[in-house]
Amino acid sequence: MSRSKVLHSKPVPLFFDTPNQTEDAEIQTAKDGPLLAVIGCGYWGAKHIRVSCDIRDARVSMAADPRPDRLEYIHSQYPTVAVTRDVDAILNNPSIDGVIVATPVVTHFELARAVLQAGKHALVEKPLAMTSAQCRELNAIAEQRKRVLMVGHTFEYHPAVCFMRQMIQSGSLGELYYIDSRRLNLGLYRQDANVLWDLAPHDLSIIFSLLEERAQSIGAWGCAHVLPDVEDVVYAKMGFKSGVAAHVHVSWLDPVKVRQITIVGSNAMLVFDDVQPSEKVRVYQKRFRPRIDGDSYADFQSAYHHGDVHIPAISNSEPLKLEVLDFVNAIMTGKRPLADGLRGLRVVAALEAASACLRRNHKHRSNDKHQPTFRRGNVSVGGPEIAAA
In the beta sheet, which residues pair with residue 100?
A: 38, 123
Could you tell me where the DSSP H helices lie in the chain?
23-32, 43-52, 68-77, 88-91, 108-117, 132-145, 159-170, 195-211, 297-301, 319-333, 341-367
Band of pLDDT at residue 151, cut at 50, 70 and 90:
very high
Closest CA to 179 of 235, 126, 238, 234: 238
Band of pLDDT at residue 75, cut at 50, 70 and 90:
very high
Q: Does domain 23-155 have CATH number 3.30.390.30?
A: no
Query: How confident is the model over 147-166, as a mean pLDDT?
Result: 97
Q: What CA–CA distance (Å, rounded) separates 173 from 262?
A: 12
Domain 156-280+340-386 fold is Dihydrodipicolinate Reductase; domain 2 (3.30.360)
> Residue ranges of the domains in the chain?
23-155, 156-280+340-386
What's the farthest any 2 CA atoms get from each other in the chain? Answer: 81
C-alpha distance from residue 92 to each of 88, 97, 183, 212, 256 (Å)? 6, 11, 40, 39, 46
Read off the pLDDT of residues 31-74 as tens digits, 9 standing for 90 and up. 468 999 999 999 999 999 999 999 988 899 999 999 999 999 99
Band of pLDDT at residue 8, cut at 50, 70 and 90:
very low
Closest CA to 203 of 158, 249, 149: 249
Band of pLDDT at residue 228, cut at 50, 70 and 90:
confident
Q: What CA–CA distance (Å, rounded) separates 15 from 57?
A: 9
Q: Mean pLDDT, the chain, as a whole number?
A: 84
